[in-house]
Structure 1
């Protein structure tokens, strides 16, 4: 099928586009930033640019991975997040329905599940988070707008019959955590594979599966994260003494980490349970914490890309161009290189 992929110039887009092609799909990349995987330049916040993309390319499915993200909070006003993450999602949903597209995959985030209480470390137990977790109380404009966009996906799916799967992805970015103090780099990423991280390759694979399974699923919201070795019964111990729990599951983990000069986490405040994704679309992450330990045992690089200097392509744009992302009325781009296609 022909797939419109938003965010095609971003970190996820550079993995998603090849994954979609490897699965036999044709990809039309849509982004405000030029890139190797981008054929249509424009902002999703610009309804005219979105409509032109659909009318020109006659796509069969949409993967909406483009957004303003948490690091963008320091670069953009809150209104820009509403314009891009909420209005942009609505523009795509309505254009998809008008074009007769039958499937839509939306990239969301587990970040919207984290309340201020969890982020502040309150409570005696780790929060066990799955798709039934409620109430959802996002702590910043990024989470608020992503949750609103999820609601739009649900509404359009129920009202118009558009098959739509929302993927709440856990951490897969290559850069350092902009809020964490203490353990960093690949040590932190390795620890997070126990409870809040997934590889970008697995995220891409989840999107392909969601796109292909969407018509039989209808609507669903799924957490995408590496499978945790823990259970709900471990929640108190994970918050207070996670190293004992880790030793029970992986007896040689501490020694393997020590040989690399790494340390295990001193506390774990949350666990993302991704088991529903396996039941709904057949997704289970290939790379997990055991994969990290296997690499350490064999003296290989761990399968967790780390680039402390990474910056999103959007952040590198001049202010005059980036402002077009926030103000759709001034967005000038609508260039395309794919030829139109006739159906039937």
Structure 2
């Protein structure tokens, strides 16, 4: 198939485009920034640009392009609506008109985080899966991604376009934009327990969704490394996360200490990716156990930590 991949110059696109090609697909990359996997520079918010992309011969769409949470600091709300909502609708309409039977949408677990969850007001870790709701996103990023998910659901129901929504947990390489402690690599390692996956796993999940979309119809999946925790541990995770981690991984405290890392005193939320494993047939290859294996054996960590990473779109001159 010839796949239209939006966001082809971004972090996910850097891994997804080669993965699609290795799976035997042709790739037409669309992004607002030039890149090695980008064939057409332009915005999905522009219907003419989308039409030009489809004129290149498109059999299916993976819509991974978007404005993200860090963009809130320098982009107006209207830009999020234009790109994340109108842009998604432009692609869905073009795909439905073309008679496509598969559309994969990159969403985010961020839209599941209300202000109360963000503030960790609960006495136990909040267990998040696809049944969590009602959803109350706390910023324009989450609001627009939730709206885009709704458009996918409508096009699946009303136009017969099979749409798979992938709510990805964190996989960005740069440091967290709100937390400076613990250090970035330490924080990323911890997050594989409850809210992170590798970019390689994120790319593989999109390819799996592309292949399965026609039989799935419409569905939503949380993508995160498999958590070792159970719902019964939610209260203790909030009170004393380090002890729960040590129970599951007895040598984790020593391995972390040897590297100068710390384990968390508390964990306030857990993403459960069980639905993706059961129905999509996808399970992340890299989890916390693999990170400990690397520490134990003195190997390179199985995730990317790059504090200097800047998205290609953010390198472009501002108009």
TM-score range, shorter chain: over 0.9
> Equivalent residue for 2:311?
312
Aligned length: 319
Q: Corresponding residue for 1:231? A: 230
| CA–CA distance in structure 1, aligned partners of residues 205 and 269 of structure 2 | 22
Cα distance in structure 2, aligned partners of 1:32 and 1:212:
27
Q: Distance in 2 between matches of 1:125 and 1:144?
A: 26
Task: Note the alpha carbon deviations across 1:273-308, whole angstroms, 9 max, x for none.
Answer: 001001121100000000000000000121121111
Report the TM-score when normalising by structure 2.
0.99
Q: In the alignment, what sits opposite 1:127? A: 126
**Are the equivalent residues in 2 in contact too, given 1:81–1:145 (CA < 8 A)?**
yes
Map 1:201-240 onto structure 2 (within 5 A): 201-240=200-239
RMSD value, Cα: 0.7
Match in the other structure for 2:158: 159
State the 4+ residue runs in structure 1 displaced beyond 2 angstroms: none
Task: Summarize the alignment of residues 49-68 of structure 1 with structure 2, pairs less than 5 Å apart.
Answer: 49-54=49-54, 56-68=55-67
Answer whether contact 1:169 1:224 (CA < 8 A) is retained. yes
Counterpart contact for 1:58–1:99, Cα < 8 Å = no
Shift of residue 181 of structure 1? 3.6
Distance 2:234 2:56 in 1: 49
Distance between the aligned counterparts of 2:58 and 2:313, measured in 1?
25
Hey, what does 1:7 align to over in structure 2? 7
Distance in 2 (CA, whole Å) between partners of 1:313 and 1:52 is: 22
CA distance in 2, matches of 1:4, 1:275: 28
User: In 1, Cα distance between the equivalents of 2:311 and 2:261?
Assistant: 28
Determine the C-alpha separation between the residues in 1 that align with 2:288 and 2:151: 34
Q: Are 1:115 and 1:136, in contact at CA under 8 Å, matched by a contact in 2?
A: yes
TM-score, reference length from structure 1: 0.92
Shift of 1:102: 1.3
Give, in whole Å, the separation in 2 of the partners of 1:310 and 1:280. 34
Local SS of the residue matching 1:222: strand
Provide the residue aligned with 1:24 in structure 2. 24
Distance 2:42 2:181 in 1: 39
Alignment gaps of 5+ in structure 1: 321-344
1:58 Cα offset (Å): 2.2
Counterpart-to-counterpart distance in 2, 1:184 and 1:228 = 22
Q: Counterpart in 2 of 1:258?
A: 257
Pairs within 5 Å for 1:325-340: none
TM-superposed deviation, 1:226 = 0.1
Spell out the pairing of 1:42-191 with structure 2 (5 A cutoff).
Answer: 42-54=42-54, 56-191=55-190
Higher mean displacement: 176-185 or 126-135: 176-185
Aligned-pair CA distance for 1:40:
1.1
Give the equivalent residue in structure 1 for 2:269: 270
Q: Report the more deviating stretch, 155-164 or 299-308.
A: 299-308
Offset of 1:209 from its aligned partner? 0.2
Larger RCO (CA within 8 A; separation ≥ 6)? 1
Secondary structure of the residue aligned to 2:253 is helix
Does structure 2 conserve the Cα–Cα contact (< 8 Å) formed by 1:177 and 1:184?
no
Give the equivalent residue in structure 2 for 1:40: 40
Residue 187 (structure 1) shift:
0.4
Q: How does 1:288-303 map to 2 (within 5 A)?
A: 288-303=287-302
Deviation track 1:232-282 (CA, whole Å, cap 9, x = no partner) reads 001000111001111110000000000000000111010000010011211
